[in-house]
Homo-oligomer: A and B are copies of this chain.
């Protein structure tokens, strides 16, 4: 069983991905998780509530999620993007079902009511942030769909233990999900050919990382890549065997990354 996570970048080619998934899923069950950040930012701007990014004291960026931001999140992730991916998969003969982390409490998260943010060198306490970390996965629902030949297409938000809808980090969520479902391989595709030594040089892909050395590679990670490293660390801590990072903009992106085009962590 493969867990595939596709980022939410602007140049991700969903038609190629759907085509490749149709091929790969003939041999192996797939669970798909996706982002939608580029379109989210676009719609948020149009609705006059642009996405606000906050930076934690340890330098990790995340989205500040008040009720307005959460509404945009629901619209774009669980509505617009999730359903278009599902329809695209159907076009390629894949019987997809789209779910958010809220449905059947698929992703239960611990609501992190208080977050610290660095603003102009000062640490500020944010107490109305609707975010959380996934801690529990409804594996029965996923198994039920897989057993009946549906391909689950999953996106945030999650639902908290108090039944509050909360934004959540996808890279963390897939680690928890892989562990809960005893999945040994995760594929993560985004708008780069892998982890780059030099962000300005697309040929500087780091081909292999030993899981024990993940911390040493934090220095190469920019922006969202930092969260991918943190997510990967968590996944290996919980028993993952292999993680593949590759390019979501090319043809046969899943087949290609499994062939070694990208960064392999093991």
Contact = CB atoms under 8 A, between A and B. Distances in A.
A75 B80 contact: yes
Contacts of A54: none
A86 B102 contact: yes
A87 interface: yes
Interface string A81-108: 0111011001100011111101111000
Q: Is the interface of A mostly helix, strand, loop or mixed?
A: helix
Interface residues of A, number: 39
A96 B103 contact: yes
Given A80-B79, A141-B150, A90 B105 contact: yes
A153 B45 CA distance: 30
- Give the copy number: 2
A95 B84 contact: no
A78 to B, nearest CB: 4
A159 interface: yes
A209 to B, nearest CB: 36
Interface in A159-189: 159, 163-165
A91 B160 CA distance: 10
24 contacts: A43-B75, A46-B48, A47-B47, A71-B80, A74-B83, A75-B75, A75-B79, A76-B79, A78-B82, A78-B98, A79-B82, A83-B100, A83-B157, A83-B165, A84-B165, A87-B163, A87-B165, A90-B102, A90-B159, A96-B103, A98-B100, A104-B150, A141-B150, A144-B144
